[in-house]
Amino acid sequence: MIVLDVAWKDLMHSVRSVFMLVFALGLPLLTAGVFYAAFGGLSSGENGRMIAAPRVMVVNLDSAGQAGTMLADFLIGEELSGVLDAVRESDPAAARAAVDAGEAAVAVILPENFTASLTAAGTGGTVAVEIYQDPALTVGPAIVRSIVGQLLDGFAGVRVSVQASGEALAVRSIPLDPQTAAGIAAQYTEWVQAQMSSGDGQDWLDVQSVSGAKQESMDTIARMISAIMAMMMIFYCFFTGTAAAQSILQEQEAGTLPRMFTTPARRSMILAGKLLAVLVTLLLQLAILLAVSGWAFRIHWGNPVSVVLGVVGTGALSASFAIFVTSFLKDTKQAGMVYGVVVNLVGWVGISRLFVLIIPGLDKYASYTDIVSLISPQGWAAQIWQESMAGNPVWITVTGMLVLSLVLFGIGVFKFNRRFSE
Amino acid sequence: MRILDVTWKDISQQIRDKRPLAFLLGAPILFTVLMGVMMGGLGGSSEEDPRLAVGVLDRDGGAAAGSLIALMEKSEAVRPVRVEEKDAQTLEKQVSDGKLAGAVVIPAGYSAAVFDGNAMPLRLLIDDASDAGTNADRAVRAVVFRLQTAVETAIWSANIAAEQSGFASPAERQSFLESTMQAGVREWETAPVMLQLRSAAAKESTQPAIPSGFAQSSPGNMVTFALAGLISAAEILVWERKSGTLRRLLTTSISRMEILIGHFLAMFLMVFLQVIILGTFGQLLFGLTYWQNPAAFLTMATTVTLWIASMGLLIGVMARTSEQVAMFSIVPMLALAGLGGAWMPLEVTGETFQAVGHLTPTYWAMNGMQNLILRGQGLAGVILPAVVLCGFALLFFGIAVWRFHRE
């Protein structure tokens, strides 16, 4: 009964604290919510992120040439309207100025001799299409470069084809007369148009995704938001644990704990009540965060059994870690510093395994972070949620977490007992 | 003079405890380095060859396969990594682990089939859920298009040659096809049209001028942690109110406005120093050109600080407890930093998010700083952001004064 009384009193203290509620529930949801909103989760729906179409200024200085007009019309036309927000501009300087002013992401400037350079009868030199981009942007200009690059290849192929043919036929002493060259150019044009109408090289490539069936169902946004929410949940859960366990130090400083020890209640019962309060606070926090994030951000945390095991494992490990860390502290002054530094650092090591999954290009380090993260309790928590969300079994991880919890809890209780029996 | 007394009292109170100071400088530096290195994946990679690694398992060994690899080697987006048959089983895992952005398997008989006009598709393995996979897919398609152009050219040319002089044997025809295809591959190296990439800050090049991760992480953390600095500054006001010092102060000849300005000045000086140190750090360590135009940087530092200090003043006036100070500081800090593009470039976000982001002072702070370090602009480039930030500063300061006078 004493255990429950002490636990109830501490629990009420925690849930009545607006500060605690904001930190335990508000901040993790706010952070994940910002990313959810950022990547179009609120409006885009199911397929990938909804990046705004980059504003492109198209300047065609080759207005007399067929190729320049075709390319400019295609960039501005309906077909690319969902990908590019392209507008026509006649003055290159004005287009560049618009990019400098941040009004456009890119200016595509087609030179005067664009069409002439593509024909075999032209200068034979190389002509440059200028892509003038805002240096602060990466994605928009990359999209424009890719599209323009592909279109230019389509145009450039005429001359590549005619010149390669001329070179090969010359070896056999067959001259490439204008009529033959025109024939090659016509065949190329016909071939390119056939490819365009049949789809972008569908017969040439058999593209297979290595993502498993389960992963395929999770779109990019969901994977990213899930990883961010899991990171935030774990990070703030361990903070909540330490903040709740700090009540032992606060009561010790206020003198209420030594006074309680003078009552007939056994010391171990009082400590057990405090530990129970920490655990229940954490379980409540986890349950609310899982439910709200699952509903608001459409995160699938895994099957019910895995989720329950994940909650138990994470709750037990954060509570025991909080007791373990707090048992080494003398007073609340030390607590601020140690919680801030230790819990932060250990936390970042632990959630690094999730972090590398959300930053493009960092996933190559996943095999290292998967191992290194397990030196911290947060890493075990991250692992169990990763497994649960991927639909993998969590038994081994939850067993490891409970064993680790027992070890940390045992050390913490031992140290507290020694301190209070002195 | 009395204003300066209040200011000096606040500053001496804040610098007495070195731990928050170490946090306000140490944490942003640490996070700038960490996030900058990590965001290198978005652009300015320090690797020698920043192109995406794509595994190539050549089971054909013929001329077309060789030409495909040659074209990949010339690609600006991908670089081929030869994979031996004994490692074929690990290809899928290497792609799913992200060690390879993709993998191309060239089937046996591919070279013979392409000239016969029989479609024998190359197998391309990618993780379509990753950016690297999508980019590798796009780049490999471009390479295969170039190869197919060369192959088709060889076939058309062989038909012309057969009509005009004929081939003595199938082997001669095959040899002609292969040499013409290789001529086509060579022609692509000197394609008649090339992309010339330019930006206001970079010289002409054929490589994209991509900002380094530090150009995002440095101003981002500068703004985020300047907001975090509000906690200890605003707490002084709360402590003054709780301890009764404020009431005692108000019985003296010092006016309410003087008290507020005194506190504001203290916050301003602390945050200004923090911004200057972090900017100098970014310049020295990462070569970010904050100080290229000192007047422009000082303008941005001043206006960013004006906004943050006036927000700190408002928090201090509104909060009744230390817990409220932390809440009123950290919640806006996270929301403004996230919405305004301090954590990630706004260009990778949705249209609505970008529109909302433009309404935050954080966006204008980031915009002004990036005009200096990325766009190479001077004083003219920071005028608009500076004016908007001054507007926010006036708004927050005005509300703080109004609240304080009603107290």
Label each residue of A29-72 as H, E or C.
HHHHHHHHHHCCCCCCCCCCCCCCCCEEEEEECCCCCHHHHHHH
- Asked if the Cβ–Cβ distance from B165 to A174 is below 8 Å, we say yes
Chain B CA closest to residue A25? B331
**pLDDT at residue B348, as a whole number:** 73
Tens-digit pLDDT profile for residues A305-330: 999 999 999 999 999 998 898 888 88
Computed over its alpha carbons, how large is the radius of gyration of chain B?
31
Q: In chain B, what are the domains? A: 2-43+209-406 (no CATH), 51-190 (3.40.1710)
The answer for B 345-404 residues in CB contact with A (under 8 A) is 345, 347-354, 356, 367, 370, 374-377
- Asked if the Cβ–Cβ distance from A129 to B194 is below 8 Å, we say yes
Q: Which residues of A touch B160 (CB under 8 A)?
A: 165, 169, 174, 180, 183-184
Question: For the residues B187-201, what does the mean pLDDT come to?
Answer: 77
Half-sphere CA count of B118, side-chain side, radius 13 A = 7
Q: Is the pLDDT of residue B296 over 90?
A: yes
The token pair at B34 is 């960490």
> Nearest CA of chain A to the CA of B254: how many Å?
34
Say if residues A388 and A310 touch (Cβ distance below 8 Å).
Answer: yes
Say if residues B156 and A176 touch (Cβ distance below 8 Å).
Answer: no
- Note the residue count of chain A: 422
> Nearest CA of chain B to the CA of A196: how many Å?
11
3-class state of residue B261 by DSSP: helix
- Asked if the Cβ–Cβ distance from B129 to A125 is below 8 Å, we say no
Interface mutation target, options B116, B135, B143, B157, chain A, most CBs of A under 10 Å: B157
Backbone angles phi, psi at A131, to 5 degrees: -110, 105
Cα B70 to Cα B68: distance, rounded to the nearest angstrom: 5
The token pair at B247 is 């009431």
The token pair at A109 is 């400037």
The interface predicted TM-score (ipTM) is 0.70
Average pLDDT, rounded, for chain B: 84
Cα B298 to Cα A390: distance, rounded to the nearest angstrom: 50
Cα B353 to Cα B347: distance, rounded to the nearest angstrom: 10
Cα B216 to Cα B374: distance, rounded to the nearest angstrom: 9
Residue A121 CB-density burial (10 A; 0-12 exposed, 13-18 middle, 19+ buried): exposed
The answer for B 77-136 residues in CB contact with A (under 8 A) is 92, 95-99, 119, 121-133
Q: Is the pLDDT of residue A48 over 70?
A: no
> Nearest CA of chain B to the CA of A197: how many Å?
15
Concatenated DSSP letters of A231-267: HHHHHHHHHHHHHHHHHHHHHHHHTHHHHHHTSSS-H
Q: Which residues of B touch A220 (CB under 8 A)?
A: 129
The token pair at A168 is 């090969």
Shortest CB distance from A204 goes to which of B23, B148, B176? B148
Q: Which residues of A touch B95 (CB under 8 A)?
A: 210
pLDDT more than 90, % of chain A? 18
> Nearest CA of chain A to the CA of B247: how many Å?
27
B159 versus B189: the higher-pLDDT residue is B159
- Asked if the Cβ–Cβ distance from A26 to B331 is below 8 Å, we say yes
Backbone angles phi, psi at B400, to 5 degrees: -60, -45
Cα A98 to Cα A107: distance, rounded to the nearest angstrom: 8
**pLDDT at residue B208, as a whole number:** 45
Half-sphere CA count of B191, side-chain side, radius 13 A = 26
**Interface check B148 vs A, CB under 8 A:** yes
The token pair at A374 is 């397990």
- Asked if the Cβ–Cβ distance from B145 to A165 is below 8 Å, we say no
> Nearest CA of chain A to the CA of B113: how many Å?
11
Query: Kindly report the CA angle at B237 between B227 and B264, in degrees rounded to 5?
Result: 60
> Nearest CA of chain A to the CA of B87: how many Å?
16
**pLDDT at residue B134, as a whole number:** 78
- Asked if the Cβ–Cβ distance from B196 to A359 is below 8 Å, we say no
Q: Which residues of A touch B19 (CB under 8 A)?
A: 337
Q: Which residues of A touch B46 (CB under 8 A)?
A: none
Q: H helices of B244-321, where?
A: 245-250, 256-286, 294-318
**Interface check B174 vs A, CB under 8 A:** no
Average pLDDT, rounded, for chain A: 82
- Asked if the Cβ–Cβ distance from B98 to A364 is below 8 Å, we say yes
Shortest CB distance from A204 goes to which of B121, B193, B199? B121
Q: H helices of A124-266, where?
A: 139-171, 178-198, 213-217, 220-254, 256-261
The token pair at B175 is 């040899």
3-class state of residue B59 by DSSP: coil
Q: Is the pLDDT of residue A55 over 80?
A: yes
- Asked if the Cβ–Cβ distance from A136 to B211 is below 8 Å, we say yes
The token pair at A352 is 């690094």
Asked which of A76-85, A116-125, B56-65, B242-251 is least confident by mean pLDDT, the reply is A116-125
Among residues A112, A183, A193, A199, the alpha carbon closest in space to that of A155 is found at A193
Question: For the residues B323-342, what does the mean pLDDT come to?
Answer: 83
Say if residues A66 and A110 touch (Cβ distance below 8 Å).
Answer: no
Q: Is the pLDDT of residue A163 over 60?
A: yes
Tens-digit pLDDT profile for residues A104-159: 989 999 998 888 877 654 455 677 889 998 888 877 888 888 888 888 888 888 88
Q: Which residues are bridge partners to B194 per DSSP?
A: A128
Shortest CB distance from A138 goes to which of B156, B210, B343? B210
Backbone angles phi, psi at A208, to 5 degrees: -125, 135
Cα B393 to Cα B267: distance, rounded to the nearest angstrom: 13
**pLDDT at residue B209, as a whole number:** 45
> Nearest CA of chain A to the CA of B273: how many Å?
24
Half-sphere CA count of A104, side-chain side, radius 13 A = 26
Contacts of A39 (CB under 8 A, 6+ apart): A49, A50, A221, A224, A225, B348, B349, B350, B353
The answer for B 247-306 residues in CB contact with A (under 8 A) is none
The token pair at B330 is 């950290």
> Nearest CA of chain A to the CA of B381: how many Å?
8
In the β-sheet with B122-126, what is the strand arrangement from edge to edge?
A205-209, B122-126, B102-106, B52-58, B78-82
Element (H, E) at B16: helix B2-16
In the β-sheet with A106-110, what is the strand arrangement from edge to edge?
A85-88, A55-60, A106-110, A127-133, B193-199
The token pair at B21 is 């100071």
- Greatest alpha-carbon span in chain A: 112
**pLDDT at residue B87, as a whole number:** 84
